[in-house]
Structure 1
Amino acid sequence: MKNIELRTLRQEMSEVLYQWAEEYFDPSGSHLNERIKRADLVASFFEYAGGPAGHGVTRTNFKGKIQAYCKFKGYDFNIDRPNAEKVYFSDWKPLHPEESFIGSDDKSGGAEYFKVFSPAKEKESKPF
């Protein structure tokens, strides 16, 4: 069952987005666990992909594809915002350690932000 779910998520995000995200959110880099403007992420992806056509990723569906990537990798999304059930990450995660938390929209100052969060990276940077 898990293999089917992973295959479905991989198809949902598109191969080009997966390849870009693997580089962009590399744990040795600085983008994982950082709050980043959605517009900057979209621009970076389109630059990598050679433009907005031919890969099935649009500005409109970009967030859903990033959320699929988070679920595929076991990352969490927008941990500083409550999820659809209005539950915060700190309350939800201990009850669902093997699932990805998907927080709600993070908007301020007329911009939307994404945070792709890796608990392993957090533990590495704050071991105590």
Structure 2
Amino acid sequence: MKYLLLKHYRGGPDAVAPQPPMDEWTPEDVDAHVQYMRDFAARLVETGEFVDERALRPEGTFVRHDGEGRPPVTDGPFAETKDLIAGWMLIDVESWERAVELAGQLSAAPGAGGAPTREWLEVRPLFSEQLLGTE
């Protein structure tokens, strides 16, 4: 079954393990974090559990239908916000328990000063069929 792991960066005083924004990390801390993510993905490629992943840039916008054909656009999300989706990984594993186990491992990626980020990961199962019925 496929699961989406959404990586939530939570800043501010309420964070489990407060981390400064990534643009304040040392180059060595950024390199260590990125290498952890690469190594983690490589292990999942070896086990056949890796499907895809991407980091998300911090800039973006919110859009919704306004009922009149002119979708309003709102600023955000912002990297400075309390909760920001930083990226995602798509995995294909045998069970919910395995998906949760891998999410916990991914949350251990090093951050500033080498301490684990302990960032929240949202684990979401995908429907078994695409809505459009295409492959």
Q: Is TM (by shorter chain) over 0.5?
A: no
Structure with greater helix percent: 1
- Compute the TM-score of the two structures, normalised by the length of structure 1: 0.30
Structure with greater strand percent: 2
With a CA cutoff of 8 Å and minimum separation of 6, indicate the structure with the bigger relative contact order: 2
> Which structure: larger Rg?
2
- Compute the TM-score of the two structures, normalised by the length of structure 2: 0.29
